[in-house]
Amino acid sequence: MDCRALLALYSDAYLRSPDCAREWSVFRERMARSARQTGHEPRALVGVVWRPDGLVLPLSVAEAGPLLPSGGQGYPAGEFGTLRDPEHWAQYRDLVRLVADRLITGTQADLPTMSTADARSIPLRFDPHAGTAPPAPAAPPRAARPTGAPRPGTPAPHPPPTAPPGPPRAKWRPVYDLPRAAGRPRADRGPGTAARRHRVTLLLLAGTRSRMAALRTALAPYGDSPEDWQPFWPHTEESAVDVVQRALEDYGVEEVTVCPFTPESGAAEPVALPPEPPGADPDPPVVLLLVDPWLAREARPSRDPGLSALCERLSARGAAFAGVVAVLPRTDAETWENTPQLRDALLAQAAGCRLRAPHHEVGSAEGLAHTVIGAMADVLTVWPGGQGRSEPGEPDGRPPRGAREPEERAEWPTRRSRERDAWSPVPAGPRSALLSHRSGGIWGDG
């Protein structure tokens, strides 16, 4: 096999074809070998959502690279539908030109050739008989909430596909399953923690379809409210809020309050964080900020203080912040191409530094779910010094054994530098832009 670029027209029939699965897997292996040899990831695989009916992209396909945008807001019938609809022929011609440009760019990569015998030995990267990724090791079943049952603080679900307005949406399917020890209750996180009631306030900084139209062209992930934001479409129809709430529910959080931050609410104090006298609530909620980085590039009017001013006000509340989570989905072609600019815009807002909280970046629904749980674990296992609370087993308010005293601000750069040295492996190729910032850290010293 020696072709230099591959155009994959994704549909349910494509993912169920053994020949397509073999060809796709072999080409993906050639790309992986090229990346190991050169240190550069080739962009020789061009994916297009051709027929979305019944299509659920396997994880290996979704992570292989960006999918071409479906004409701005997305055409419900897929790109095959634009070919048959005269009103969208101009959109289809634009797609053809874009595909041609991507294929020409992809052929510039020098992929290693592969013999027929070698190609037959390559394992398939997704199961064509199931149309989905090969199943992971069996995990204990979890009690599933009936489909459509609302969560506390959750807005009304999407209308059925037949109900206007907006394009029809398929029934969402969760793409992750968090492991949990067999027989362990949801709210049990080990000795000494079950007695505490854990609540989370999710501050959501995301836009609506009308608001985002001034910032980008691909509007399919957005709806009529910030809670409708589906950043990982078309890999999953699950919204970002649903991903976070499901992860927190599995972790044992009893109450999640979702608070979207909009230009209209920006002029007033953020809801969900009312001022409370010290000690009024022995277990105040943990606050998590979920951000769409596209809004960091928005030209804000005077009535909209933006992310920077929001973080300034939140930092004065004294709440326990689990972190700032920015979503840069790998399946979004437009976000993929603008990732460096989006990172710089978010860095200028310095949200993590102002809140004295860690900053996280995720690119998939699975990454978002595990990042949220990791951030919660960090907050709930650290001694809350100076907040007038005692951990179980320490009635006099002393920190638990092995707990660290809160560090001074001057200690942060040293600690962050030491952590980065331990976390960051030596790259095989040139250093990426993510690690090219100054020693203070990409999102500040927090």
- Give the pLDDT of residue 282: 56
Partners of 232 in the beta sheet? none
Measured distance CA(42)–CA(5) in Å, rounded: 10
User: Could you tell me the end-to-end alpha-carbon distance of the chain, in angstroms, rounded to an integer?
Assistant: 49
User: Hey, is 257 helix, strand or coil?
Assistant: strand
- Can you read off the two tokens belonging to residue 408? 């001074």
- Give the pLDDT of residue 188: 45
- Give the pLDDT of residue 387: 38
332 DSSP 8-state letter: B
User: Listing from the earlier edge strand, what are the strands of the sheet with 286-291?
Assistant: 255-260, 199-205, 286-291, 320-327, 359-362
DSSP, residue by residue, 163-200: SSSS---PPP---------TT--TT--STTTTTS--EE
pLDDT digits (tens, 9 = 90+) for 6-61: 988 888 888 888 889 999 999 999 988 888 888 888 888 888 887 777 777 888 88
- Can you read off the two tokens belonging to residue 361? 């970046």
> Where along the chain do its domains lie?
6-120, 199-389
Dihedral of the alpha carbons of 343, 352, 249, 194, in degrees to the nearest 10: 150
Answer positive or negative: Cα dihedral of 383, 386, 389, 393: positive
Measured distance CA(389)–CA(283) in Å, rounded: 8
- Give the pLDDT of residue 443: 43
Residues 6+ positions from 344 with CB-CB distance below 8 Å: none
Contact 47, 68 (CB under 8 A): yes
- Give the pLDDT of residue 1: 72
Closest to 77 (Cα-Cα) out of 140, 141, 168: 168
Contact 256, 200 (CB under 8 A): yes
- Give the pLDDT of residue 241: 92
User: Hey, is 255 helix, strand or coil?
Assistant: strand
Contact 79, 97 (CB under 8 A): no
Say if strands 199-205 and 255-260 run parallel, antiparallel, or are unpaired: parallel
E strands in 169-293: 199-205, 255-260, 286-291
Contact 313, 269 (CB under 8 A): yes
Question: Alpha carbon of 344 to those of 203, 315, 347, 354: distances in Å?
Answer: 22, 22, 5, 16
pLDDT digits (tens, 9 = 90+) for 388-424: 333 444 444 444 444 445 555 556 566 656 655 554 4
Instruction: Tell me which residues of the chain have a pLDDT lower than 70.
Output: 66, 69-89, 130-197, 262-284, 299-319, 349-356, 380-446
Partners of 259 in the beta sheet? 203
pTM of the entire predicted model: 0.47
CATH of domain 199-389: 3.40.50
Contact 233, 242 (CB under 8 A): no
User: Hey, is 92 helix, strand or coil?
Assistant: helix
